[in-house]
Amino acid sequence: MNIIVCIKQVPDTTEVRLNPETGTLIREGIPSIINPDDKAGLEAALRMKDKNGAHVTVISMGPLQADDALREALAMGADEAVLVTDRAFGGADTWATSSTLASAIKTLPYDLIITGRQAIDGDTAQVGPQIAEHLGLANISYAEEMETDGKSVTVKRQFEDRYHIIKAPLPCLVTALSELAQPRYMTPGGVFRAYQKQQVKNLTRADLDVADENIGLKGSPTRVFKSFAKELKGAGTVVSMEGEEAADWIVEKLEEKFLI
Amino acid sequence: MEKSNYKDIFVFAEQVDGKIAGVVFELLGKAKELAAVRGGNVSAVLLGSGVQALCKKLAQYGANRVVLVDDKALETYMTEPYTKALYQVVSQYNPEIVMFGATAIGRDLAPRVSARAHTGLTADCTKLEIQDETGNLMMTRPAFGGNIMATILCPNHRPQMATVRPGVMQRIAPIEGAECPVDKVEVANLASAMNVEILEVVKKVSEKMDIMDAKVLVSGGRGMGCPKNFEALEALAEVLGGTVAASRASVDAGWQPKERQVGQTGKTVRPNLYIACGISGAIQHLAGMEDSDVIVAINKDATAPIFEVADYGVVGDACKIVPLLTEALKAQRAKKV
């Protein structure tokens, strides 16, 4: 069974801080990580491999630095890594990203495609289902649990107030929640292998059978018009108090606002 | 593509088990506002099986028309039949804007429909406006974990599609007795689009009020120290007729269930009163609660960012103050009676 896992290298947004003077993001010194939902998807693929055998290929679209994320995936146990990288792919929104990744995936054998539900920098959750759309596959989003018998996958699909147990014939695409699987650590042997023995295969514009109008900025229906720091509503009254004094002060304020 | 051929605003009227999702009413309210600026009408697109009775309610909340696809294959949400049906509606009517709730259904359906229609989709919007010069929809959304906001346009493709974060837009007061025309659309061979099998539907049972519906929220963070201290928050919430919410830190620590989580990766709430106890106020948390009418914050750390949005801040130990506050409220109530 061939499993493809799509991963994205993202800045660790829990570490992102704003420059209070300029209102811009401070990106320096922010570690790059494999997006958490994607990493859970990779772990789920590796568990399928451990259990029944599978060939796991990780694929990422991004700049050359994304090589690090792919090496980490190899060190965790992936068999093959593909980096889809070219200036022509730059500036892509989710439509163009999914179109590009779909055309890259078409060059590989696959039975199951796993993506993370969403990336922590963009939070869109769109690329997974859109890859499936471009490939004409069924997709199951928000997977909390997943198993396979080699012919189909059975997924526990999360909703706000319920879950569905869904069975889909292969090939299909599943988007993984972080809850799907706690990722393993890289082993020293894995790291050695990833950097010394294994290769990351680069796919560029020339390697893909996709129209120019479906990639990069040109292939993106959406445009970022502007970005800005969020304005907070501004502080009210802050006092330093403890115990009953504090409790009474809050009661007084709630009374003033007719909240009690 | 000729943009002038695209008119009106369509709202995907998500329903599950014959109950319309709350966010749909919020979307209708917003759509009405946008239509007043842009011109055109508001249609609700209702997909399901045996759901015609819901049309009236959609009219009461602002729909000028309901486009209904009523088909047995749409009884339980499944990606492909819903995509096929909605795609046909969109192709047939050419709306200028299509809005979805950013729910577990909307965020699965909208990407597929937008990819099929070859148009742009902006996720999880918190603000929608019409651009003066162009009439384009300006879609504003948080990015980088709520650290920055981005305004997105879809200038040359139609329809312009957006998923909208629940709890952000305002619904209108329902118009009593309102009704609207219902267009029934037949979609051929929907049953054959059922390409997966739903083996089981399991509902989660929660006895507590949804934090998005609560008028008062008492919310706890890592500063509460341990799950046991949430009992004091429960007691305070009870006195105030509210319920307990939580920050990501306390959910990640396993002290509270995910459904209680407020913030960018949790729920957006705007209660009348939000009491933040032992919550430092990371940007991703503030993104989910800063529109609350009145915010009270109790935190030991005077430099905590929560104080930047709080109307009333107390620098002190929430674990000690909260039980005393509960008692003080009870005493105050006894005095009034």
Which tokens belong to A202? Answer: 């680069």
Query: What is the CA angle B153-A132-A102, rounded to 5?
Result: 80
Whether residue B298 and residue A246 make contact (CB cut-off 8 A), yes or no, is yes
Nearest CA in chain B to A11: B144
Which H or E element spans position A169? strand A162-169
pLDDT on residue B253 = 93
Largest distance between two CA atoms of chain B: 69
Whether residue B108 and residue A141 make contact (CB cut-off 8 A), yes or no, is yes
Whether residue B199 and residue A154 make contact (CB cut-off 8 A), yes or no, is yes
Instruction: Give the three-state DSSP class for A121.
Output: coil
pTM: 0.89
Residue identified by tokens 């599978």 is A54
pLDDT on residue B19 = 97
Taking only the tens place, the pLDDT of each residue in B261-271 is 999 889 999 99
Tell me how close the Cα of B120 comes to any Cα of chain A, in angstroms. Answer: 5
Whether residue B151 and residue A226 make contact (CB cut-off 8 A), yes or no, is yes
Sort out which chain A residues have CB atoms less than 8 A from B120's CB and list them: 93, 95, 220-222
Which tokens belong to B233? Answer: 């928050």
Question: How far is it, in rounded angstroms, from Cα B38 to Cα A137?
Answer: 37
Question: How far is it, in rounded angstroms, from Cα A164 to Cα A71?
Answer: 35
Question: How far is it, in rounded angstroms, from Cα A99 to Cα A94?
Answer: 8
Whether residue A254 and residue B296 make contact (CB cut-off 8 A), yes or no, is yes
CB proximity B316 to A under 8 Å: yes
* Stretches in chain A below the pLDDT threshold 50: none
Which of A127, A162, A241 is facing B201, going by the closest CB pair? A162
Whether residue B120 and residue A95 make contact (CB cut-off 8 A), yes or no, is yes
User: How far is CA B140 from its chain centroid?
Assistant: 15
Which tokens belong to A88? Answer: 């022509």
In terms of DSSP H, where are the helices of A106-222? 127-135, 188-196
The answer to whether B278 and B224 have CB atoms below 8 angstroms apart is: yes
Question: How far is it, in rounded angstroms, from Cα A11 to Cα A30?
Answer: 6
Query: What is the CA angle B60-B66-B72, rounded to 5?
Result: 120
Question: How far is it, in rounded angstroms, from Cα B41 to Cα B225?
Answer: 52
Which tokens belong to A152? Answer: 């189909």
* Stretches in chain B below the pLDDT threshold 70: 337
CB proximity A130 to B under 8 Å: yes
Instruction: Tell me which of A250, A252, A255, A258 to substitute to probe the interface with B (most B C-beta atoms closer than 10 Å).
Output: A250
Asked if the ipTM is above 0.90, the reply is: yes
Count CA atoms closer than 13 A to B122's CA, side-chain side.
Answer: 34
CB proximity B183 to A under 8 Å: no
Residue A89 is classified by DSSP as G
pLDDT on residue A167 = 98
pLDDT on residue A24 = 65
The answer to whether B254 and B290 have CB atoms below 8 angstroms apart is: no
